[in-house]
Amino acid sequence: MSLPNKIQMVDLKGQYQKIKTEVDAAMNEVISSTSFINGPAVKEFQSNFETYLNIKHVIPCANGTDALQIAMMALDLKQGDEVITANFTYVATAEVIGLLGLSPVLVDVNQDTFNIDIESIERNITSKTKAIVPVHLFGQCADMERIMAIAKKHNLYVIEDTAQAIGADYSFSDGRNFKAGTIGTIGCTSFFPSKNLGCFGDGGAIFTNNDELAKKIRMIAHHGQSVQYVHEVLGVNSRLDSIQAAILKIKLKHLDEYALSRNKVAEFYDKAFSNHSKIKIPSRSKNSTHVFHQYTLQIIGYDRTELREKLTEHGIPAMIYYPIPLHKQNAYKNERFKTNDFPITQKLCDTVLSLPMHTELDEETLNYITNTLLTIIK
């Protein structure tokens, strides 16, 4: 089977071409207005995003890492306070905990959903625990009903890292439904270009229903001031610029459509791989929809490195998210963390492989990817 056009993990150019006229006009409008910082586009996107998420406050900022840092600063966490998060995740989640002088407490994840393991959270709560940061990994929500119950029981904050699951819906057992990132004390997201809702540079946002927290978050993101030159709290400089907001305002209208396209790709992959003894397809949580930021397989009984190399030889990119658990990274090594505490995390680091996943994949390309992979793993 011949190689289609160059296959990419994420096809941002193809996506842009479909909204080019509208995006170009929006960017030109910002340039013509010269309202590059805190212009009308920022306020319009903020309002539209609040409506989409059904939340009272969205505070745009410079990137997803800033969003997490500002959220923790707003909660007045003190040096030495413990914050529980997943070991199997991107480093930014734990990074900001350490940067603020807090203690990251890494816990294992669920093998099926890749999300933070509830029993591991409970086992690691101490008198110093102040917050839980569930990461909604690869596109679906962590078990937020149980996490919120634990948080209520122990009087803990919950900061949702929803950078990979923006647009996903979570359902509680009593029938209540929420968008990812709107359930906990504070939600955070990233608008990095490859995200499901991505801009053309860096960007992020923080969301909350708490009026007082929203006021404080806005101050922290703006040098700790609500009135110019009057600095009430220690702050940072973290803004979403007007051009990025203008782009996001347009892409937000397509976010659910993008999720539908990604789910169709996931269903194609599922059908191709579901009965293979050496391939485990991603599970779906019963309480969360999946927006497939990544489509991540577990390769069992076949050398993953060899598979990835052979896919590359055939022009198919594949990524490993994530090859090294956080507790083995030099920056986070701690005597309290033992490899035996993280059997699932270690297994996933050894077996996961993510295939191309984006809105522009067509049937010809998907057939090529799946047939090639199945030919390699016979």
Both tokens of 9, joined, read 């993990």
pLDDT 10s digits, 217-271: 999 999 999 999 999 999 999 999 999 999 999 999 999 999 999 999 999 999 9
What per-residue confidence (pLDDT) applies to 312? Answer: 97
| Collapsed DSSP state (helix, strand, coil) of residue 89 | coil
Cα dihedral 175→190→89→365 (10° resolution): 90
74 has a pLDDT exceeding 80: yes
pLDDT 10s digits, 269-281: 999 999 999 999 9
Which CATH code for domain 13-107+114-252?
A: 3.40.640.10
Q: What DSSP string describes 337-359?
A: --GGG-HHHHHHHHHEEEEP--T
Q: 5 pLDDT band (50/70/90 cuts)?
A: confident
What per-residue confidence (pLDDT) applies to 295? Answer: 98
Element (H, E) at 295: strand 295-299
Residue type at position 69? Q
Both tokens of 29, joined, read 């409008």
Domain ranges of the chain: 13-107+114-252, 255-376
pLDDT 10s digits, 329-368: 999 988 889 889 999 999 999 999 999 999 999 999 999 9
List b or e across 151-163, with b for residues whose CB sees 16 or more CB atoms inside 10 angstroms: beeeebbbbbbbb
Count Cα neighbours of 175 within 13 Å in the Cβ-side half-sphere: 0
Which CATH code for domain 255-376?
A: 3.90.1150.10
8 has a pLDDT exceeding 80: yes
Of 202, 234, 243, 302, which Cα lies nearest the Cα of 30? 243
What per-residue confidence (pLDDT) applies to 336? Answer: 87
Cα dihedral 65→66→70→72 (10° resolution): 20
Contacts for 107 with CB less than 8 Å, ≥ 6 apart? 84, 85, 86, 87, 116, 117, 120, 121, 123, 124, 342
pLDDT 10s digits, 26-71: 999 999 999 999 999 999 999 999 999 999 999 999 999 999 999 9
What per-residue confidence (pLDDT) applies to 378? Answer: 83
202 has a pLDDT exceeding 80: yes
Given a contact cutoff of 8 angstroms between Cβ atoms, the answer to whether 167 and 288 are in contact is: no
Mean pLDDT calculated for residue range 171-191: 98
Of 181, 192, 154, 157, which Cα lies nearest the Cα of 72? 157
Q: What is the largest CA-CA distance in the chain?
A: 67
Task: Report d(CA 199, CA 185) in Å as an integer.
Answer: 25
Q: 1 pLDDT band (50/70/90 cuts)?
A: low
Task: Report d(CA 182, CA 368) in Å as an integer.
Answer: 39
Of 164, 180, 142, which Cα lies nearest the Cα of 292? 164
Q: Give the whole-number percent of the chain exceeding pLDDT 90.
A: 97
Residue type at position 181? G
Q: Give the whole-number percent of the chain exceeding pLDDT 70.
A: 99
Q: Is the dihedral of CA 195, 196, 197, 199 positive or negative?
A: positive
Q: 91 pLDDT band (50/70/90 cuts)?
A: very high
What is the pairing mode between strands 129-133 and 103-107? unpaired
